[in-house]
C-alpha cells in the first residue's frame, strides 16, 4: 500500500481526490457523496461482461451492476435495456457478531486501486467495529480475460486487537435492480459438491442465465454451511486469533443461452474444473500483458496524460464484445460460431445510462482504436451492424423508404430504440418530442464509413464480401429513396435533418450529412464494381437480394453527382446548413462562468435560432474527410476560426473535446492539449457530473484518436500510416503501434532535441522571489484562533499555492458558514496580512532571484509574475520589482485558481507569447500542475519529492542559477520517465 499520508503531504492534495501512477488509479479516501460515480470509475470487465465498482459487503444506495454484452430485455411499453444480472460479488463479513460495513463503525485507513495493466481491483482498509474490534480487510477481484465466463474475488481478514469469530456469507444476489425493475424470472437454484448455482430467465426476451459459485478457505479450517432454498449462498465460520489472517476465495462462472444451449450444466461443469484463484489470476494477467504488448501508448513527460490515456483504453477493452487477440489475422481467423456479435454501448458495460443502447459513437469514435490495434474486435463490432440489417430495413420500411436505415439508438435487433417522446418526471410538464430518431439520419452513412475504413486497414476481403458490401450498398439504396429532387435548382437535397451538431433540430442540407451521403454512394459504387470483378457469384446473389436493378445502379451514379454540398459555392468557409449564417450570432464568453450547456441556459427554441453548436459538425466533416484532396489546410483553418468559438465544447457534449483536440493539434493551436485533457479526464474527474451513469465511451475512443491522429499526426496512406507529430511541449516521447494490412507499424516519436524556444519566464511570487508564507500563516492563525478552528504550521503547508477561498475552506473543514460570513472572514484575514506586509523591502528578496531576473532581461526575454495572491502588486512594488517585470497576473486576473491553467495562460497572453515559449518557476505542486496544463515548461523550487518528478527541472533555490544552464537542462529534461510510483502519485 502506498503511504497516503506522505503522498498528501508532498502533493498537497485536495480532499477526496483520486491519485494515480502510470498504471494505477487510486482512491485514498472513501467519500459517500462520490459513491455512484466511483462505482463507474472502478468498473472491471473482460468484454463479455462488466461489473461496476460496488462494494462486496454492500452500501446504502449503491447500485451493484453486472451487465453482459447483448443481454437485453424489455420493459413493456417503455424501452429495451441491458438487463442487470444477478450480483456475483455479494460477500457479507461478520466480525465477532457485528456486520462489517463502511456505513457503520469507523474507517481508520482506506485505499482502493484499479490496476489497469492487469485489470484487477483491490481495496485495503482498517475498520473498527461499533464495539471496538479492529480488523484489517483486503478485497481483490477480476473478470478473467483469459476465460470470459469466469469471475473471481479473494478476501483477507486479520483481527488486529482481538480474537473471535469471523464469518463470511457469500451469495449470488438473485434480485438485481434496473433502477426499479427486475428483469428476471426465477427458474431454479440448488447446490452441488462444488458450490451453489442459480438459474434465471429474462421476462420478455427469454434469455436464460446461470451462475455457479464456490468459496474456499485458504490454509485454515472452517465450518461451512450451504443455503440454496432461500438464496444461493455459502457460509464459512472461523475462530480467529489476534494477528492471524483469514483468507477465502470466491470463484463464479456465468453462461447464458445466447452462447450455450444449457447454461446451468455449462456453469456447473466449468466451476468444477476451475483451478485456484492464484492460477486463474496468473492466466488473466498474461492475457492482459498480451493486449498491452501491442496496444499500449507510452507517453514520457506527462504522468497525468499517460494514466488518463491508459484508463480510457482500458475502458474500451473491457467494453468490447470479443476476446482481444492483437496478433490474430482477421482474414485467417474467423469469429467463433458461438460468439454472437454485439457492439459497444454508449456507456459500455459500466452503467445503465442510455439503457445500454448503441449509437454512432461506436463507428466514428470507438472503432478506429480497434480497427488499428485489435482488428478481430473491430470486425465483431461491425458484424453486429450486419446482423441487425433486418431491423434497419424495418425502420426504413415503416418510415416510407427503401434499403437499410439504421436506428439512432439500437439494441439486440437493430430496430429503433429511441423513444418518440421524452419521459417527464413532472406530471404537468409538456412532453418533448425526440426528433433524432427520425431526423439524425447520418448514422447510416457513418456506419458505411466505418466499414470502408476497416476494409482499408485490414484488407479483409472475405468479411467485405460476406458482410460489408451488403451494409454499404443497402444504405446507399436507402439514400436513393431519402434524397429529394429540387426541380427548380436541379439538384438532390436532404431536408428536415439533424446534423452532428444536434442543437438544430430541423435543417435543410446539413453539410456533414449531405457529404457523408455522397461519400456513401461513391463507396457503394466502388464496392459493387470490386465485388463484380473479384467475386462475381456473390455480386449476382447480392444484386438479387437487394433488388439492385440496372435502373437503380444507374441512379447511384447520377444521384451521387447531383447531391448538393453546401461548400460547392464557397470551398473555404462552409455553411453548416441552409441559412446558418443568417441565424443570431453568439459570443459564448458572455455566458461565463457557467456549469450548464448553452441550451439549458437559453432554452431549446432560442438555441435553434442561434449560431451555437453542441458539438463539431463542419469540423467533424473536415476531420473525417481529412485524407481526401478536397479539403486544404487553409480551409480547415478558416472553418476552425469560425466554428470553434461557437461550439459549446465545455458543456454541450462529451463527444466534442477530442475532435477539437485533434484539429487543434494539426493546426498547431495552443488549446489542443487543453481539449485533450478535457476528454481524457471526463470520467476520472466526473467533469460532466454524470459519470454515475457509466463511462463516456465515445470520449474514450476520441482520446485515443487525439493522441494518434492529433499529437502523433498519423495520416493513413495507401502504403501505410505516416506520422507528422505535433507533440505537446511537455511530452518528451510518444510510442505506439498500429496494425495496417497485416503488419505492425511502430512509432517512437520525440520532439526536437534542440533547447526549447524560451521567450519568457513567469515567476510565482511567494516562495520563489520572496517569502511571505510566514505573514500568511500568522494572518490565518489569528483568524483561526478567533473562530476557534484547529490550525497549525502543518495544516498551513496544505495552503501552499492555494487561493484565498480554497485556503479558508480547507481551514474551515466540515464546519458550516454562510457565504457572507466566509467573505467577511477572507476580508479579515486579508486585513491582517496587509498590515503585516507594510514593512516589506527589497531586502526581503530571496537570494539568486534578482540576478536571474537581470540575466533574463539582458537576453531580451520577457518576465511576468503569476501569483494567486490578490496582494501581489503591493508586494511587487515594495520589493522594487515593478520596473523589472512586463506583466502581472494575480488573484484578481482570473477566476479559476491553480491547478487550473488560467492564471499562467493569462500571464502569457499579457506577454504576447505562446504557452510553449514560456517557463514557469513555482514552489508549489499545484502551480507546476497548472503550468503543465497550460502547456508550459516548468521549474520547481524545493525538494524533489514535493513535485513527484513531474516538473521538468527541480532546483533547491535560485542561488547561483544562470539562464544558460536553465536552457541547457530544460532541453535535456525528461524527469517523468524516471519517477518512482509512490512519489509520482498526483492529484486528479
CA atoms within 13 A on the CB side of 319: 33
How many other CB atoms sit within 10 Å of the CB of residue 957?
A: 15
Tell me how far CA of residue 797 lies from CA of 11, 17, 780, 808, in angstroms: 10, 17, 12, 13
CB 61 within 8 A of CB 400: no
- Which residue in this structure is represented by grid cell 459487503? 57
Torsion of CA 459, 463, 469, 475, to 10 degrees: -110
Residue by residue, what is the 3-state secondary structure of 666-716? Answer: HHCCCCHHHHHHHHHCCCCCCCCCCHHHCCCHHHHHHHHHHHHHHHCCEEE
Task: Name the phi and psi angles at 104, rounded to 5.
Answer: -135, 170
What is the helix (H) or strand (E) element at residue 230, kind and residue range?
Answer: none
What is the helix (H) or strand (E) element at residue 799, kind and residue range?
Answer: none
CB 46 within 8 A of CB 119: yes
Is position 298 annotated as part of the catalytic site? no
CB-based contacts of 846: which residues, under 8 Å, 6+ apart?
768, 769, 770, 771, 957, 958
CB 251 within 8 A of CB 277: yes
| Marked catalytic residue, from 502, 575, 922, 929 | 502
CA-based R_g, the chain, Å: 30
Q: How far is 952 from 975, CA to CA, in rounded Å? A: 6
CB 364 within 8 A of CB 624: yes
For the beta sheet containing 196-202, the strands, ordered from the edge strand earlier in sequence to the opposite edge, are 19-20, 24-27, 106-115, 120-128, 134-143, 150-159, 246-256, 208-218, 196-202, 184-191
Q: How far is 651 from 645, CA to CA, in rounded Å? A: 13
CB 445 within 8 A of CB 515: no
Q: What sign results for the dihedral spanned by CA atoms 354, 359, 364, 370?
A: positive
For the beta sheet containing 298-300, the strands, ordered from the edge strand earlier in sequence to the opposite edge, are 298-300, 733-740, 743-749
- Which residue in this structure is represented by grid cell 445466447? 258
What is the helix (H) or strand (E) element at residue 401, kind and residue range?
Answer: none
CB 337 within 8 A of CB 348: no
Cell numbers standing for residue 807: 485556503
Q: How far is 224 from 986, CA to CA, in rounded Å? A: 44
Residue by residue, what is the 3-state secondary structure of 447-465? Answer: HHHHHHHHHHHHCCHHHHH
In 719-762, which ranges are continuous DSSP H helix? none
Q: Mind telling me the catalytic residues? A: 502
Amino acid at each position: 500500500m502506498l503511504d497516503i499520508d506522505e503522498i498528501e503531504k508532498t502533493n498537497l492534495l485536495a480532499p477526496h481526490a483520486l491519485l494515480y501512477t502510470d498504471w494505477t488509479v487510486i482512491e485514498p479516501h472513501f467519500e459517500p457523496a462520490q459513491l455512484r460515480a466511483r462505482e463507474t470509475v472502478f468498473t472491471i470487465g473482460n468484454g463479455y461482461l462488466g461489473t461496476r465498482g460496488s462494494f462486496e459487503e454492500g452500501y446504502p444506495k449503491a447500485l451493484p451492476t453486472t451487465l453482459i454484452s447483448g443481454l437485453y430485455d424489455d420493459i413493456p411499453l417503455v424501452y429495451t435495456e441491458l438487463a442487470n444480472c444477478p450480483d456475483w460479488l455479494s460477500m457479507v463479513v461478520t466480525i465477532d457478531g457485528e456486520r462489517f460495513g463502511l456505513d457503520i463503525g469507523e474507517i481508520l485507513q482506506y485505499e482502493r486501486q484499479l490496476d489497469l495493466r492487469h485489470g484487477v481491483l483491490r481495496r485495503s482498509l482498517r475498520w473498527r467495529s461499533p464495539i471496538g474490534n479492529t480488523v484489517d480487510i483486503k478485497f481483490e477481484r477480476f473478470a478473467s480475460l483469459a476465460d470470459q465466463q469466469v469471475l473471481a474475488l479473494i478476501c483477507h481478514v486479520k483481527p488486529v486487537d482481538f480474537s473471535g469469530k469471523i464469518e463470511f456469507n457469500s451469495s449470488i444476489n438473485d434480485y438485481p435492480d434496473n433502477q426499479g425493475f427486475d428483469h428476471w424470472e426465477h427458474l431454479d437454484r440448488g447446490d452441488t459438491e462444488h458450490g451453489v448455482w442459480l438459474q434465471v430467465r429474462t421476462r420478455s426476451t427469454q434469455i436464460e442465465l446461470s451462475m455457479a459459485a464456490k468459496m474456499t478457505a485458504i490454509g485454515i479450517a472452517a465450518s461451512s454451511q450451504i443455503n440454496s432454498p432461500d438464496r444461493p449462498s455459502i457460509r464459512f465460520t472461523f475462530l480467529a486469533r489476534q494477528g492471524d489472517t483469514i483468507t477465502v476465495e470466491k470463484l463464479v462462472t456465468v453462461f447464458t443461452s445466447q452462447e450455450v444451449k444449457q447454461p446451468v450444466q455449462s456453469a456447473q461443469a466449468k466451476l468444477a474444473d476451475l483451478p485456484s484463484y492464484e492460477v486463474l489470476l496468473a492466466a488473466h494477467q498474461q492475457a492482459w500483458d498480451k493486449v498491452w504488448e501491442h496496444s499500449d501508448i507510452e507517453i514520457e513527460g506527462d504522468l497525468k496524460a499517460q494514466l488518463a490515456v491508459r484508463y480510457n483504453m482500458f475502458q474500451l477493452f473491457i467494453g468490447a464484445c470479443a476476446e482481444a487477440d492483437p496478433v490474430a489475422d482477421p482474414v485467417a481467423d474467423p469469429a467463433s460460431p458461438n460468439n454472437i456479435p454485439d457492439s459497444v454501448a454508449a456507456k459500455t458495460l459500466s452503467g445503465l445510462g442510455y439503457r445500454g443502447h448503441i449509437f454512432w459513437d461506436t463507428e466514428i469514435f470507438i472503432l478506429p482504436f480497434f480497427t488499428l490495434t485489435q482488428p478481430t474486435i473491430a470486425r465483431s463490432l461491425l458484424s453486429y451492424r450486419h446482423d441487425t440489417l433486418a431491423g434497419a430495413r424495418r425502420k426504413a420500411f415503416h418510415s416510407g423508404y427503401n434499403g437499410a436505415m439504421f436506428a439512432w439508438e439500437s439494441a439486440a435487433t437493430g430496430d429503433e430504440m429511441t423513444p418518440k417522446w421524452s419521459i417527464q418526471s413532472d406530471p404537468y410538464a409538456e412532453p418533448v418530442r425526440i426528433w433524432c430518431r427520425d431526423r439524425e439520419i447520418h448514422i447510416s452513412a457513418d456506419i458505411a464509413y466505418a466499414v470502408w475504413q476497416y476494409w482499408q486497414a485490414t484488407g479483409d476481403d472475405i468479411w467485405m464480401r460476406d458482410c460489408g458490401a451488403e451494409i454499404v450498398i443497402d444504405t446507399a439504396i436507402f439514400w436513393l429513396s431519402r434524397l429529394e429532387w429540387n426541380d427548380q435548382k436541379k439538384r438532390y437535397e436532404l431536408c428536415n435533418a439533424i446534423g452532428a451538431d444536434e442543437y438544430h433540430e430541423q435543417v435543410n442540407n446539413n453539410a456533414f450529412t449531405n457529404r457523408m451521403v455522397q461519400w456513401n454512394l461513391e463507396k457503394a459504387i466502388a464496392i459493387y464494381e470490386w465485388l463484380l470483378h473479384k467475386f462475381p457469384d456473390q455480386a449476382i446473389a447480392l444484386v438479387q437480394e437487394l433488388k439492385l436493378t440496372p435502373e437503380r445502379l444507374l441512379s447511384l451514379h447520377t444521384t451521387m453527382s447531383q447531391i448538393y454540398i453546401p461548400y460547392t459555392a464557397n470551398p473555404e468557409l462552409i455553411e453548416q446548413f441552409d441559412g446558418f449564417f443568417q441565424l443570431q450570432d453568439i459570443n459564448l464568453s458572455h455566458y461565463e462562468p457557467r456549469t450548464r450547456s448553452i441550451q439549458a441556459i437559453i432554452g431549446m427554441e432560442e438555441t435553434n435560432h442561434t449560431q451555437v453548436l453542441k458539438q463539431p459538425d463542419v469540423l467533424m466533416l473536415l476531420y473525417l474527410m481529412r485524407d481526401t484532396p478536397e479539403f486544404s489546410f487553409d480551409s480547415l483553418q478558416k472553418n476552425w476560426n469560425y466554428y470553434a468559438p461557437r461550439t459549446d465544447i465545455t458543456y454541450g457534449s462529451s463527444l466534442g473535446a477530442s475532435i477539437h483536440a485533434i484539429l487543434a493539434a494539426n493546426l498547431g493551436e495552443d488549446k489542443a492539449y487543453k481539449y485533450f485533457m478535457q476528454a481524457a479526464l471526463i470520467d476520472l474527474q466526473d467533469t460532466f457530473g454524470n459519470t454515475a451513469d457509466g463511462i463516456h465511451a465515445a470520449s474514450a475512443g476520441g482520446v485515443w484518436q487525439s493522441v494518434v491522429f492529433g499529437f502523433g499526426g498519423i495520416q493513413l496512406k495507401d502504403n501505410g500510416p505516416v506520422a507528422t507529430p505535433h507533440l505537446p511541449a511537455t511530452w518528451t516521447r510518444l510510442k505506439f503501434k498500429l496494425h495496417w494490412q497485416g503488419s505492425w507499424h511502430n512509432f517512437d516519436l520525440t520532439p526536437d532535441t534542440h533547447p526549447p524556444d524560451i521567450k519568457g519566464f513567469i515567476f510565482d511570487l511567494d516562495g520563489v522571489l520572496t517569502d511571505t508564507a510566514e505573514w500568511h500563516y500568522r494572518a490565518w492563525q489569528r483568524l483561526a484562533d478567533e473562530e476557534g478552528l484547529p490550525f497549525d504550521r502543518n495544516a498551513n503547508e496544505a495552503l501552499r499555492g492555494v487561493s484565498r477561498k480554497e485556503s479558508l475552506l480547507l481551514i474551515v473543514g466540515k464546519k458550516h458558514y454562510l457565504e457572507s460570513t466566509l467573505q467577511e472572514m477572507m476580508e479579515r484575514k486579508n486585513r491582517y496580512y496587509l498590515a503585516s506586509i507594510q514593512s516589506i523591502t527589497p531586502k526581503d528578496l530571496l537570494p539568486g532571484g534578482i540576478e536571474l531576473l537581470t540575466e533574463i532581461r539582458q537576453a531580451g526575454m520577457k518576465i511576468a509574475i503569476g501569483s494567486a495572491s490578490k496582494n501581489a502588486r503591493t508586494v511587487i512594488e515594495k520589493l522594487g520589482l515593478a520596473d523589472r517585470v512586463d506583466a502581472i497576473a494575480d488573484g484578481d486576473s482570473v477566476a479559476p485558481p491553480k491547478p487550473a491553467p488560467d492564471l499562467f495562460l493569462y500571464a502569457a497572453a499579457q506577454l504576447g507569447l505562446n504557452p510553449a515559449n514560456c517557463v514557469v518557476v513555482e514552489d508549489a505542486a499545484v502551480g507546476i500542475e497548472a503550468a503543465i496544463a497550460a502547456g508550459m515548461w516548468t521549474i520547481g523550487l524545493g525538494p524533489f519529492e514535493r513535485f513527484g518528478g513531474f516538473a521538468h527541472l527541480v532546483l533547491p533555490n535560485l542561488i547561483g542559477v544562470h539562464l544558460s544552464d536553465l536552457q541547457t537542462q530544460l532541453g535535456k529534461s525528461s524527469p517523468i520517465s524516471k519517477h518512482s510510483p509512490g512519489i509520482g502519485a498526483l492529484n486528479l
